[in-house]
Structure 1
Amino acid sequence: MNVSQAMKERRSVRAFLSKAPTADQVHSLMSDAAQAASGGNLQPWRVVALAGAALTQLTDAIAAAQPDEEQVSNLSYPPNLWEPYRSRRFKNGEDLYKTIAIPRENKAARLEQLAKNGQFFGAPVGILVFADERMGYAQWVDLGIYLQSLMLLATERGMATCAQGFWRRYGNTVERVLKAPEPYRVAYGVALGYEDTQAPINTLRADRAPFAEWAQMRGFE
C-alpha cells in the first residue's frame, strides 16, 4: 500500500476486534511516526501506549470520573460554531448515529455511545499523546502531523485507528493515572487495533467538501 492508498482508506473506526497488535508492532508504529515533520525539530510529542491491565486501569478510572471543570477551554470545537463548519459537524454526527439507528431524540443512547470514547471503543490498544503546556500553536500543529503520520502508518500495516479529542475532557484523571510529569497535558488519544468489519458503525464514510469550496489555485495559467 502506498501513501495515496492509505490516505483514501484511513477512516475513524469505532468498533474493534479482540485481536491485538503485538508490542513490537505498536513500538514500531510509534517510533516510525516520529519521523513526522517538526518545526525546529522540537518533537514536542510525548506518547504512552496502553494495553492489558494498564489500559483497563485507565478506562476504569475514566468510567468513575467526572469531566474536568476547566475542560471548556479544551473543547474540540469553538463555541457557537459557524457555517459551513456547523453544518459539516451536524451532518457527520447524524450520519454516524444513523449507522447504529439512534435517533436525535434518544439522548440517553447518544450519551451511551459518547461514553464509549472512554473505553477506546473497545480497541485493545489505547495511545495517549501529551504536550508540555508551555508549548505554543506551532507545536500543536506538530502534534497533528505526528497524529496523521501514526494513523497513515497504521492503515498501511493493516490496523485501524480513531483519533479522540475526548481525552482532554478528562485530562486531570488521565494525567494522574498515567503519572504524567509536570507540565505535560494530554492532547489527544488514539484507539488502535483491527477493524470489526461487521460492525454497522464502521460503515460510516465521512464525505469531504468539494475542492472549489476550500481551495484556490493562482498563477498556473
Structure 2
Amino acid sequence: NWQCFGAPAALFCYIDRDLGRPQWADVGMYLQTVMLLLRAEGLHSCPQMAWSVYRRTVAEILSPPDGLILFCGMSIGFEDVTVDYIRTGRAPLDETVTFVEGWPTGEGS
C-alpha cells in the first residue's frame, strides 16, 4: 500500500476542507471517471483511502495549499499479470441492486 503496489505513478486527490458530504461523494464520482479513462488508455488504477490517514505526512512532501484536505491516493500503472493472486469476481446484479417496479410517472415526477 505505502509503495503504491509498485505502480510507476500516484495521484493524490485533495478537496476543500470546508466542503460537505455531498461534495465528498462528487469527488468519488470524479475519481471513478478518472479510473475509467485510465482503463480506456490501457492503464490500471487502485484508489487508496489509506493515504488519508497519513494526510499530514503526505502534506510534508506535497505541500498542498491551506484549506485543502487529502481525500485519497491512487496508484496508476500497468497490471502485472505475472503476479499470482486471487482475482475476485463481481457479485450478480440481483445481489447488489433492487429494482422497484411501478414507480410513479407523470407530471412533476
Task: Provide the TM-score with structure 2 as the length reference.
Answer: 0.85
Determine the structure 1 residue equivalent to 2:106.
none
Residue 17 of structure 2 corresponds to residue 129 of structure 1: no
- Counterpart of 1:140 in structure 2: which amino acid? W
Determine the structure 1 residue equivalent to 2:53.
169
Selected match of 1:149 from 29, 33, 56: 33
Determine the structure 1 residue equivalent to 2:99.
216
Determine the structure 2 residue equivalent to 1:139.
23
Unaligned runs of 5+ in 2: 104-109
C-alpha separation in 2, matches of 1:207 and 1:132: 33
C-alpha separation in 1, matches of 2:82 and 2:26: 35
Unaligned runs of 5+ in 1: 1-116
Stretches (4+) displaced over 3 A: none
Determine the structure 2 residue equivalent to 1:182.
66
Q: Deviations over 1:111-135 (max 9, x none)?
A: xxxxxx1110110000000011110
Q: Deviations over 1:165-198 (max 9, x none)?
A: 0101111111121001111111011100111111
Q: Quick one: structure 1 residues 213 and 179, their matched pair in 2 at CA, closer, same or farther if it must change by over 3 Å? A: closer
Selected match of 2:90 from 207, 213, 221: 207
Alignment of 1:41-52 (within 5 A): none
Selected match of 1:158 from 38, 42, 66: 42
Alignment of 1:3-152 (within 5 A): 117-152=1-36
Task: Provide the TM-score with structure 1 as the length reference.
Answer: 0.44
Q: Determine what percentage of the aligned residue pairs are the same residue.
A: 31
C-alpha separation in 2, matches of 1:171 and 1:180: 10
Selected match of 2:79 from 195, 198, 209: 195
Structure having the higher strand fraction is 2
Q: How far is the alpha carbon of 1:212 from its aligned partner? A: 4.8
Structure having the higher helix fraction is 1
Give SS of 2:2's match. Answer: helix
Alpha carbon RMSD of aligned pairs, Å?
Answer: 1.6
C-alpha separation in 2, matches of 1:206 and 1:163: 18
Q: How far is the alpha carbon of 1:216 from its aligned partner? A: 2.3
Number of residue pairs matched?
103
